[in-house]
Amino acid sequence: MDSILVTGNGPLNGQIPIAGAKNACLTLMPATLLSEEPLTLTNAPRLSDIKTMTALLQSLGAEVSSLQDGQVIAMSSHSLTSQTADYDIVRKMRASNLVLGPLLARFGQAVVSLPGGCAIGARPMDLHVEGLEALGAEIELKDGYLHAKAPGGLKGAVHEMRFASVGATENIVMAATLAKGTTVLKNAAREPEIVDLVECLRKMGAQISGEGSSTIEIQGVDRLHGATHQVVTDRIELGTYMLAPAICGGEVELLGGRMALVESFAAKLDAAGVSVTETQNGMKVARKNGRVQAVDVVTEPFPGFPTDLQAQMMALMCTAEGTSVLEERIFENRFMHAPELVRMGANIEVHGGTATVTGVETLKGAPVMATDLRASVSLILAGLAAEGETTVSRVYHLDRGYEHVVRKLEGVGAKIERIKGE
Ligand code: UD1
């Protein structure tokens, strides 16, 4: 298994290009199942999760080609052969559950294994099921699979979600595009990836309004057609690399970054003493003077502080002046990076969903283990700021969500290399 060797090397300076959003691409790809005509995505990130979704769509009979070094994904669901998403693929990645809504809408039936993915909590699918049932689907859980059918087709309805789940919003919106009549989805998630999905669905002929707010209205249409769509910038990759100069010092420009994607996160960095400004080509981040100051963080659905940046922010707080409290409200069990950061000399106490971090002047390099996608990159950030060498093992987690991480960080002066394992 490969590992990543990081050696603390002082301030970082230069530019880092930000890729298209993994989480947007993973919901845009299943949208191909809604139409017989081709859907092409540009600005796609080159990640193992995208390969997993490709394999899943191909297992359903879709044609999926990766062009221009993986940055363009051309898909056609003209002649699908299966409506079953198998456990062997779904267990690798929770976002596989996003084929449920589209398959059900187009074929009136779908069988989808309950998902796997990062081990960061129970992550059930009850909110997806409740929303699709509101549209008239009958769904049963048998042998680890959700068996869904809608013999007379889906019908528009007013539905209020108990919690603004990102995936459930995406599944329900996709399903409603082909339902009869109007669907009003209340307490919908507002993440930029949902706005991106709706923009793409609209290009395919869907009639949707209200995306980005907590009420989305979908007027069902008989069919959707082909489209080409550019995947939105990855705000989590953006936020992660914004932390690189924050933790190491220096000044880095994030190409393609936009403030609107990371407003609450940028506000926290500003409060910690890190300057964030928009430039013509993206955003510039620089540490103002000396050590960053401790700030408290509470993770919340968008536009709040993203849970997917909590681990990386914790790495920064490990080196801050003062004590910060990080409260995780989206996923239970999402502090698995904390004991690894402690191995590097961090002072962290975890009680339930709250971590209290007292900053230390310097972290020390150590062998550490990645436990999930965002945890893995938080250990790399900590390693960049630490004295000596840090080896991060189990980097397959990293490959799920960060393309060319070594190349991107080397480009701004980091000392980082990938060590090939057996
Ligand atoms: C998406 C993102 C993930 C991010 C998360 C929250 C993708 C591919 N992944 O995941 O990176 O961390 O949003 O911003 O876009 N829940 C239920 N029942 C459900 C669905 C969810 O209880 O039916 C719970 C989950 O266990 C979790 C919370 O709701 O505690 C948030 O989940 P959700 O918003 O659905 O996240 P995902 O779509 O899985």
* CA 169 to centroid of ligand 1, rounded, Å: 10
* CB 248 less than 6 A from any atom of ligand 1: no
pLDDT band at 122 (very low <50, low <70, confident <90, very high): low
* CB 93 less than 6 A from any atom of ligand 1: no
pLDDT of the residue at 92? 87
pLDDT of the residue at 371? 87
| Same domain assignment for residues 219 and 294 | no
| Same domain assignment for residues 104 and 237 | no
pLDDT of the residue at 183? 98
Q: 141-150, 308-317, 355-364 — which is least confidently predicted?
A: 141-150
| Same domain assignment for residues 64 and 15 | no
Ligand 1 pocket mutation, candidates 92, 123, 373, criterion most atoms within 8 A of CB:
123
| Same domain assignment for residues 222 and 272 | no
Q: Which domain range does residue 134 map to?
A: 22-230
| Same domain assignment for residues 151 and 37 | yes
**Closest residue (by CA) to atom 38 of ligand 1?**
167
Q: Is the pTM higher than 0.95?
A: yes
Phi, psi (rounded to 5 degrees) for 280? -65, -35
pLDDT in tens, 195-252: 999 999 999 999 999 999 999 999 999 999 999 999 999 999 999 999 999 999 999 9
pLDDT in tens, 25-60: 999 999 999 999 999 999 999 999 999 999 999 999
pLDDT of the residue at 123? 66
Q: What is the rounded CA–CA span in Å between residue 103 and residue 30?
A: 9
* CB 331 less than 6 A from any atom of ligand 1: yes
Which of 109, 53, 103, 60 has the alpha carbon at shortest distance from 81? 60
Q: Classify residue 336 by its DSSP letter.
A: T
pLDDT in tens, 300-312: 999 999 999 999 9
pLDDT of the residue at 289? 78
* Ligand 1 closest atom vs CA 189: 34
Q: What is the rounded CA–CA span in Å between residue 219 and residue 177?
A: 7
* CA 330 to centroid of ligand 1, rounded, Å: 8
Please say if the pLDDT value at position 144 is more than 90: no
The amino acid occupying position 255 is L
* CA 187 to centroid of ligand 1, rounded, Å: 14
Q: Which residues are catalytic?
A: 118
CATH of the domain at 181: 3.65.10.10
Final residue before a domain boundary, out of 230, 263, 281 = 230
Final residue before a domain boundary, out of 176, 195, 230 = 230
pLDDT of the residue at 21? 98
Residues 308 and 120 sit within 8 Å (Cβ to Cβ): no
Q: Please report, rounded to a whole number, the percentage of residues in the chain having pLDDT higher than 90.
A: 91
* CB 144 less than 6 A from any atom of ligand 1: no
| Same domain assignment for residues 398 and 268 | yes
Tokens 């250990």 map to which residue?
379
Ligand 1 pocket mutation, candidates 128, 161, 166, criterion most atoms within 8 A of CB:
166
Residues 317 and 269 sit within 8 Å (Cβ to Cβ): no
Please say if the pLDDT value at position 9 is more than 90: no
Q: What is the rounded CA–CA span in Å between residue 188 and residue 216?
A: 7
Ligand 1 pocket mutation, candidates 22, 194, 231, 330, criterion most atoms within 8 A of CB:
330
Which of 372, 395, 34, 42 has the alpha carbon at shortest distance from 223? 34
- Other beta carbons within 10 angstroms of residue 124's beta carbon come to 11
| Same domain assignment for residues 258 and 292 | yes
* CA 26 to centroid of ligand 1, rounded, Å: 13
**Closest residue (by CA) to atom 2 of ligand 1?**
23
pLDDT band at 108 (very low <50, low <70, confident <90, very high): very high
| Same domain assignment for residues 212 and 262 | no
| Same domain assignment for residues 136 and 175 | yes
In the predicted model, what is the mean pLDDT of residues 123-143? 93
* CB 163 less than 6 A from any atom of ligand 1: yes
* CB 167 less than 6 A from any atom of ligand 1: yes
pLDDT in tens, 373-395: 999 999 999 999 999 999 999 88
| Same domain assignment for residues 249 and 326 | yes
Final residue before a domain boundary, out of 181, 205, 230 = 230
pLDDT of the residue at 351? 95
| Same domain assignment for residues 293 and 177 | no
**Closest residue (by CA) to atom 29 of ligand 1?**
165
Q: What is the rounded CA–CA span in Å between residue 262 and residue 205?
A: 30
pLDDT in tens, 275-325: 999 999 999 999 977 899 999 999 999 999 999 999 999 999 999 999 999
In the predicted model, what is the mean pLDDT of residues 411-422? 94
Please say if the pLDDT value at position 117 is more than 70: no
Please say if the pLDDT value at position 333 is more than 90: no
Calculate the average pLDDT of the chain.
95
pLDDT band at 422 (very low <50, low <70, confident <90, very high): confident
Q: What is the tally of structural domains in the chain?
A: 2
| Same domain assignment for residues 196 and 98 | yes
